[in-house]
Amino acid sequence: MLLNNPVIKSKIALLWHNFWSGGIANPMTAIEQISYLLFMKQLDELDFRQKGRAEFLGLPYNSKFAGEFTLPGTEDVKVDKEDLRWRKFKDKQPEDMLLHVQTKVFPFLQSLNGGSSNFARHMKNAVFIIPKANLLSEAIAIIDEIYKELEIDAAKKGHAFQDIQGDVYEMLLNELSSSGKNGQFRTPRHIIKLIVELVGPQFGQIIGDPACGTGGFLLGAYQYIVTQMDKDKDNIEPDEDGFVRSSVSSVLKPEHMERLEQNLWGYDFDVTMVRLGLMNLMMHGIDSPQVDYMDTLSKRYTEENKYHIVMTNPPFTGSIDKGDLSQAFSLSTSKTELLFIERTYNMLKMGGTAGIIVPQGVLFGSSKAHVKARQILIDQCELKAVITMPSGVFKPYAGVSTAILVFTKGGETRQVWFYEMQSDGRSLDDRRQKEEGYGDLQDIVARYKTRDPRQESDRKAKCFFVTKEEIVEQNYDLSLSRYKEDVLEEMESESPEVIFHKLLKLEEEIDRDLKKLMEISK
């Protein structure tokens, strides 16, 4: 993870500082502009590698930089697309570079995949607003240095995938005193990998995220599926979190890749997040991501019974205008953390499985909407797991305690598996430093995949089962503390008589000391 590498961390901090001092102080504007530069860099890197691989194997390859690009607003002014590569323009003089990127490279990016593509449609109103030539030149130099360090980091720690866009986004938020004010909390990658591992998406399944942000869950599903299809996966070293992930689509045939891309769907109500998500997925080799602008809680969103898999970390502690709320909801509430549970349920096909992060208040809230949301999970689904997470998982942005819910639509809940995560392999303070080992991550995966109600009945253990009947009796309460039994340690103590004599002796000693002090004072 980039944020655990001090060299890369310092480079990203310098990048943010340069943008702030260069006149782009709005954090979201800075993030978006930096993302455009990262996208330019990664697009060149991916295309160059894929082109070289195709030439080595003697396969045809249609480079994004092949041919000519007609400049917008003209009919006959064309430029060679090869000149729009990062490696071609990065060494230009600052003033020439700024003009080249503003008038040629950025318009080219906006039109990628054709003017009618989903990406081009969302990039139509995007603006490249880096105002100073030196700021652009310095930013490009820093990004090149980040990539060099990234290659070293990947080789040392087994990071075959790097969610660069998301890491930069998280790092920039970390630099802000106002971080989290807009509710944009990126899900830590190791938590995404955990949920994906528990849900287990398969090739051919339609996968969705109703609040996708920078596309972390979609990217996680893509990584997992690519790994499962990799014949050499048994020889891949686990990453720093103990998960095995292979590299970008090297084992996928074009027809497989196309089908996989068509089965990854994400929505977000923030147009900036949509652009970031699109670029993030494209930077990782997904050429045509299905990410779109949509408030999935609103009346405009009507998709139901479509997805085999839904994984999401929706915004919570928020609310939506009831006038814009979809009439398909049975929950009478405007609390987004509850509405997204029902939205996820409605999105799933019968037999589809979801992994969703919720604040722990959802597990025990006593309002009618809270109880009804839990009834959906218990009575209309097979609620497979409730995994509580410590409050530090989302620091430094929020200290709220959260939980992972894994459920299958239409299944029958008989017993629910509870697990109390105590460590996610990182410190639980604002610094979130990587600790030795995997925390509880791999233990959760192993125990979940081998869970057995006949073997895990000890309520004093870290994980255990609770029957549906008991949960219903407790008003559908899903809080782990409701069912967990405290471990009482036996302590040996002295008899009251011995303690009494010790107190008398202590009192006598105090009296003697007081008399000595009084004599000295005379």
> Is-contact 286 262, C-beta < 8 A?
no
Phi, psi of 369 (to 5 degrees): -65, -40
Angle between helix 133-157 and 6-21 (nearest 10): 170
Residue 382's beta-bridge partner residues?
Answer: 408
Which residue, 32, 247, 259, is CA-closest to 161?
Answer: 247
Rg of the chain, C-alpha, whole Å: 28
Round to whole Å and give the CA distance between 313 and 402.
10
Q: Mark the ranges of the chain whose per-residue pLDDT is less than 50.
A: 161, 177-183
The whole model's pTM is what?
A: 0.85
pLDDT at position 128, please?
A: 95
Distance between CA atoms of 277 and 271, rounded to whole angstroms?
10
Alpha-carbon distances of 267 from 293, 294, 307, 310, 367, rounded to whole Å? 6, 6, 13, 12, 29
**Nearest CA-CA partner of 385 in 310, 457, 445:** 445
What span, in angstroms and rounded, lies between the C-alpha atoms of 84 and 63? 12
What DSSP designation does 68 have? E
Would you give the DSSP letter of residue 407? E
Question: What DSSP state is assigned to residue 125?
Answer: T
Classify 403 as helix, strand or coil: strand
Please, what is the Cα angle at 267 between 263 and 270, to 5 degrees? 155
The CA distance from 150 to 164, in Å, is: 9
In angstroms, rounded to a whole number, what is the distance separating the alpha carbons of residues 166 and 164? 6
Quick one: tokens of 317?
Answer: 């502690």
- 451-478 burial code (b ≥16 CB/10 A, e <16): beeeebeeeeebbbbbebeebeeeebbb
143 contact partners, CB below 8 Å, separation of at least 6: 15, 37, 38, 41
CA atoms within 13 A on the CB side of 330: 12
Q: How far is the CA of 349 from the CAs of 87, 135, 217, 358, 410, in angstroms?
A: 46, 49, 19, 21, 9
Helix, strand, coil percent content, the chain, rounded in steps of 5: 45, 15, 40
Give the pLDDT of residue 386. 98
Our CA dihedral for 256, 261, 263, 264, rounded to 10 degrees, sits at: 140
CA of 337: how far to CAs of 103, 369, 401, 480, in Å? Answer: 43, 11, 13, 19
Report in angstroms the alpha-carbon separations of 422 from 230, 391, 393, 448, 464. 33, 10, 10, 16, 15
**DSSP output for 303-367:** --S-EEEEEE----S-B--GGGB-TT--S---BHHHHHHHHHHHHEEEEEEEEEEEETHHHH--S
Task: Provide the CA 338 distance to its chain's centre, in angstroms.
Answer: 20
Pairing of strands 290-293, 307-312: unpaired
Mean pLDDT of the chain: 87
The 8-class DSSP code of residue 165 comes to: H
